[in-house]
Structure 1
């Protein structure tokens, strides 16, 4: 109740439990990132070796991703809510629309996410990390003997800490909790999220270091005359994001109608298709971090290749998500946004007067704008991209582009993706 002072002992207990649980989130999330890095390196080595086998080597990535998708699907189907991103489940628990299964969820998300993402599916690490953070919050609330409301807040706060850990973006974890999960600003929740995020990210840095996810030199501030161009660019990203969100849900519904095909077989078939893409070009598969890093380094390919990467990954992301394995949407979205920004720059550069922003500026803004068009959390998207890249000179283009992306997606009547996924999750038997 407003005006009622909490007992000091209750505050001390809640903050102590939050700090300890945040450390655990950091260790688990950092361990997950470290394992994924090793899995990616192993996959690249395997692909290099397979390339020396001639035509028969094409079967290696197909078999790898098909088997990975199958195993990850079988892991997830044994645990309620383990398939998919998990963010929609965190939001449903906050709204008291769903319950939790933390003891089974933690190992399923860790193992299933590692196998699915490590084998090359176009999925992100942030969904499983958010979900694991929230599950640790549930366990900490129970065993720390917190009050009902503090325990509920801790579940959500440590979900935000999971996002911070996934991308080394502590402020984004807090904004994600307030803007996306709860859509409210509660001082108590903010305090718990701040503490949990600080301890989580500190522990993660012991494992994966403290560099930004995509370190790059700060870019020059774009001239003011380019702001209308970024406004228009944001609108195109919002339209693209609305289409992507529709495709994610539509692909899931299409798979639901394929009742004659067993779900494990569907997962393996999806994995085989993604594996074939990976055999053609490794940048067509996987979460997209390598591709994003290259684009931000202004080492992108030509216009035709950019268009191919964009088209293929635009479809491969929703297809991978339909395999019903643990895995998130954020990382593939960021890669797609960087591709869109780089492609738009390549197409418009001949008509832009000098000095115009370079491709890296459009890639950074594209990451945030496309994310906003799909998720509809513009402030989280802006700060997330700024923290991941360390870029501090693009605030005005980012703000304008994400504004335009939000308005455009809203006017296209596109539902925010996690609202759609939550409604779908709650309607399923």
Structure 2
């Protein structure tokens, strides 16, 4: 390597480190705001429940409807601010779209806090990834880097955004290689490592760096149970294919209504439906972290209750995504996967020897398996879930289930959801 190229590489990596610190600051603040918004929503729901009568139902309906309409209005002011943003990050890497500017940041931040905080079934990782990518691209422009380095910064800092959202730095690196670029390039890997490490360190100072879903220490399931996890992964593949189809179908239905119903009105209507579900049970709404925590801790309600939670959140996630607000798919997807795992354990548990594997173990494996089926990034799903839970004893079941889930979804002809979303983004005027 010549001295000039060496200086250029050092400069790009220094920019990645500094931009990573900014991603950690913005992403950590985003998580902190969402935590405060969730707490405030919980207090409002408790107060509304105490009012009784129609007011007890009106407050959550009005809250989520207003939040969805406001977030949609914010997103419509900036191109690509609606939805997850991951498909846009992938399109930029492929040269199909231009990298976003700094104007995306306030729209994603404010719109995401309002939409997710009001109770829509959306995830924080989409806005975090998109904001990280925007920060990386803007940092490259401001420091006079070349077009190739700007694209590398845009992509690598997207991984830093995911790392901040889930406190999962290795997951952020794998996400860049397996999902966004589908390649391993030394310079991209190094820039992602630098940016992700800086982002994770700064974010931990603001929002904490502990696992999102701490999983109690448990012995590894016996090896003879791996065929059970293979079969379970196959069922998750079926569920994942249906979930991805429902996401695209909900967006298509929203598009068909566009000529008759304004976007903000559609968002408000969707918000009202989710708010009504939230009035019935707060666990029906939101990103799904409280539900995931309960399931991983071994919470085992009746089979009918688990089935009801699964059915509602299975439909509410794609419905919320169709509202056109900032928000991602990952977090709600993980909650559905945990529910599927708990439900599978409740159904099959009596057939298994005692202590073979608890419901929490099936919930952990279900999170990664459904992720692998919908996103088609099994290695990323496994590492993300292990970092989020600390469940290193479940690596073999995770490998078996994610292999079966991804293979089943692929054999069913189900495309990865972000490929479909990226193509849809390119086809729209």
Task: Report the equivalent of 1:401.
Answer: 401
Of 75-84 and 207-216, deviating more is: 207-216
After TM superposition, list the pairs within 5 Å mapping 1:98-137 onto structure 2.
98-137=97-136
How far apart, CA to CA, are the structure 1 residues paired with 2:335 and 2:354? 27
CA distance in 1, matches of 2:321, 2:276: 17
For residues 10-409 of structure 1, what are the structure 2 equivalents within 5 Å? Answer: 10-55=8-53, 56-258=55-257, 259-409=259-409
Greater alpha carbon shift after TM alignment, 401-410 vs 9-18: 9-18
- 1:75–1:108 contact (8 Å) kept in structure 2: yes
Instruction: Tell me the equivalent position of 2:427.
Output: 427
Aligned-pair Cα RMSD in Å: 1.0
Shift of 1:372: 0.6
Deviation at 1:6, TM superposition (A): 5.6
8 A contact 2:99–2:154 mirrored in 1: no
Could you tell me whether the CA contact under 8 Å between 1:295 and 1:342 is conserved in 2? yes
In the TM superposition, residue 147 of structure 1 has moved relative to its aligned partner by 2.1
Displacement after TM superposition at 1:180 (Å)? 0.1
Shift of 1:12: 2.1
Contact 1:218 1:392 in 2 (8 A): no
CA shift digits 1:157-204 (9 cap, x unpaired): 000000000000000000000000000000000000000000000000
Displacement of 1:265 in angstroms is 0.7
Give the structure-1-normalised TM-score.
0.98
3-state SS of paired residue (2:194): helix
Q: Partners of 1:355 and 1:207 in 2: how far apart? A: 39
Distance 1:119 1:51 in 2: 16
Structure 2 contact 68–115 (Cα < 8 Å) conserved: yes
Matched residues, number: 427
TM-score by length of 2: 0.98
**Partner Cα distance (1:95, 1:392) in 2:** 34
DSSP 3-state at the match of 1:103: coil
1:334–1:367 CA contact under 8 A, matched in 2: yes
Give, in whole Å, the separation in 2 of the partners of 1:104 and 1:116: 18
Work out the CA distance in 2 between the residues paired with 1:350 and 1:15.
Answer: 54
Contact 1:62/1:273, CA 8 A, preserved across alignment: yes
How far is 1:8 from its partner?
2.5
**Offset from partner CA, 1:246-297 (integer Å, 9 cap, x none):** 0000010011111211111110000000000000000000000000000000
C-alpha distance after superposition, 1:54-86 (max 9, x if no partner):
112110000000000000000001111000000
Question: What stretches of structure 1 of length at least 5 have no aligned partner?
Answer: none
Give the secondary structure class of the aligned counterpart of 2:393. coil
Secondary structure, aligned partner of 1:102? coil
Maintained 8 Å contact 2:119/2:286? yes
